[in-house]
Amino acid sequence: MVSNELRNTSNLKLCTVCASNNNRSMESHRVLKEAGYDVSSYGTGSAVRLPGLSIDKPNVYSFGTPYNDIYNDLLSQSAERYKSNGLLEMLDRNRKIKKAPEKWHDCNKVFDFVFTCEERCFDSVCEDLMNRGGQLNKIVHVINLDIRDDNENAKIGGKAMLELVDQLNSKIDECDELGIPFEDCVMGVVTAWQDSHPQLPLLYSPAYY
C-alpha cells in the first residue's frame, strides 16, 4: 500500500479516458484525485452520450457542456427516471470534480500515464498520439482496463486502477534508486497486476509526445 504522503509528492501526470468523460473516467478521476495524484480526464467520443427516456433516443451533448447544465436538463425531463438509474448521482459527483466533460483530441497537456477504460478509447488515444508525430520525444504509457460502463463496475475499475497506479509509482521510485530504466520494468508491473485482476483485461502500449 502506497501512503498518501508518497502519492502527494509524486510528480506523475495521470489521465483517465472513456467515451463520454462521464462515468468510468470520472469515477477513476475521483479515486485518483482523492488519493493525492495529479489527474485529468477526457472522452474520445464525437459527443457526450447518456441514456435517454427511451433506448433509441439518447441524450446527446457537446463536449464542454457543464455537468451542472446536463444535470438540470435531465432533472427537467424526469427526475424520477434519472435518479433511479443513477445518472443524477453520477452528474452530481462529476460537477464536484470539474466543470464539464473534455475531449481528448482537444487536450494539449503532456501525461506520464493515460488510462483508458475500453479498447476503442485505447485505440483512439494511441492513433491520436501517433498522428501528433512525437515531436517532444517524451514517452507516455497508455494502459487500457476493460471496464464495463455501469455504476458498479466503474467503482470496481476505479479502485483497481488506483492499485495499479500505486504499484507503478512504487516501481518508478525503486527504478530510480537502482538506476534502472522504468521502461524496462513496466511489463512486470502490469503483468502482476493483471494476474490479480483477471476480470479487467489489460492492454498496454508505449507512445510518444
pLDDT average, residue stretch 34-49: 98
Which of the four pLDDT bands, split at 50, 70 and 90, describes residue 4?
low
* pLDDT, tens only, 95-111: 999 999 999 999 999 99
pLDDT of residue 5: 55
Closest CA to 112 of 14, 185, 7, 10: 14
Domains of the chain with CATH codes = 4-45+103-208 (3.40.50.2300), 48-97 (no CATH)
pLDDT of residue 6: 55
The beta-strand segments (E) located in the chain are: 13-18, 38-43, 48-54, 57-61, 113-116, 139-145, 202-208
> The pTM is what?
0.94
Whether residue 44 contacts residue 104, with contact meaning beta carbons closer than 8 Å, is answered with yes
pLDDT of residue 133: 87
pLDDT average, residue stretch 50-57: 94
pLDDT average, residue stretch 52-80: 97
pLDDT of residue 13: 97
Which of the four pLDDT bands, split at 50, 70 and 90, describes residue 3?
low
Q: Is 37 helix (H, G, I), strand (E, B) or coil?
A: coil
Strand partners for 115: 16, 143
Closest CA to 49 of 85, 25, 88, 22: 22
* pLDDT, tens only, 131-176: 998 889 999 999 999 999 999 999 999 999 999 999 999 999 999 9
Whether residue 39 contacts residue 14, with contact meaning beta carbons closer than 8 Å, is answered with yes
Q: How far does CA 74 lie from the centroid of its chain?
A: 24
